[in-house]
Amino acid sequence: MQVRILGAHSSEAGEMRMVSILIDGVLALDAGGLTSSLSLSEQQKVKAILLTHHHFDHSRDLVTLGANGATFPSPVDVYGLRQTLDMVNSCLLDGKMYADFSKWPSKEKPFLQLKAIDPLQRRNIQGYDVLSVPVQHSVPSVGFQVTSKDGKSLFYTGDTGPGLASCWQHTSPQLLIIEVSGVNEVQDFLRSVGHLSPELLKEELGQFRQMKGYLPRVLVIHVPPRFRSEVEKEVKKVARELVIDIDIGYEGMKITV
Ligand SMILES: [Zn+2]
Ligand SMILES: [Zn+2]
């Protein structure tokens, strides 16, 4: 499984883009920095998008993908919780700010095909086994475990606060892509809005190791551009304390699972 980080940040600046991850060129996890990272021919190869939740930094490029889709031969499936798709439909693809690409070019055969998933539902999507696992965030959110046919798997939390132990019982990935949205100094605030600091990350990883007896390769994304260097320092400290490697994601990063 080839994983490419398209966007590794919670906002954008220069080369830093909002969150989006591409698996084997065909399956995208979130769509914050999807079209801004991919050429037209690469966009055309994307067959399905899994949305962890509706927030703008995870869904924005659905609009620009829809706009480009006029020239694409096949539609794109967009999976998310019913609440996520309702919000995307009523706010992002509302047909007022721009065209509603979930009803275009026709209601019967739209370019963006919105498909609701349930929490803890297991589905075969583009040949991958996909499991959605609820996480604690400010709006209904799920993380995704994606397993390829040859048994390689990753778990992507999306945006989440503490309390991932309930997730860990459902997943045993080789790669964990997890968020850190700020520095330890504002940990209480981060916790209150459903995000992790480096210290909170350490607690969650500690629980994973306790429950599972191992830690997967860990990749941190969703870092705010403004605090990137401070977050990096604090995450590296956590890595030393846990005696593991933790990578900080960046745009264009490629990982083979
Ligand atoms: Zn969010
Ligand atoms: Zn976010």
> What is the model's pLDDT at position 200?
98
d(CA 216, CA 209): 9
Query: Ligand 2 centroid to 216 CA: how many Å?
Result: 23
Query: Ligand 1 centroid to 139 CA: how many Å?
Result: 7
Residue 157 clears pLDDT 90, i.e. is over it: yes
Higher pLDDT, 4 or 71: 4
> What is the model's pLDDT at position 36?
94
Question: Residue 141: nearest ligand to its CA?
Answer: 1
Query: Ligand 1 centroid to 64 CA: how many Å?
Result: 20
Beta strands in 42-97 (DSSP E): 48-50, 76-81
Question: Residue 221: nearest ligand to its CA?
Answer: 2
How many residues does the structure list for the chain?
A: 257
Using alpha carbons, select from 99, 110, 212, 115 the residue that is nearest to residue 155.
Answer: 212
Query: Ligand 1 centroid to 19 CA: how many Å?
Result: 10
> What is the model's pLDDT at position 175?
98
> What is the model's pLDDT at position 70?
78
Residue 71 clears pLDDT 90, i.e. is over it: no
Question: Residue 57: nearest ligand to its CA?
Answer: 2
d(CA 27, CA 128): 9
140 preceded by cis ω (within 30°)? no
Interacting residues of 28 by C-beta distance below 8 A, sequence separation 6+: 6, 20, 21, 22, 34, 46, 48, 49, 50
Averaged pLDDT, 140-157: 98
> What is the model's pLDDT at position 1?
97
Averaged pLDDT, 46-75: 96
Query: Ligand 2 centroid to 107 CA: how many Å?
Result: 30
d(CA 99, CA 151): 39
Averaged pLDDT, 83-92: 97
Whole-structure pTM value: 0.97
Percentage of the residues of the chain whose pLDDT score is greater than 90: 98
Question: Residue 19: nearest ligand to its CA?
Answer: 2
Query: Ligand 2 centroid to 58 CA: how many Å?
Result: 6
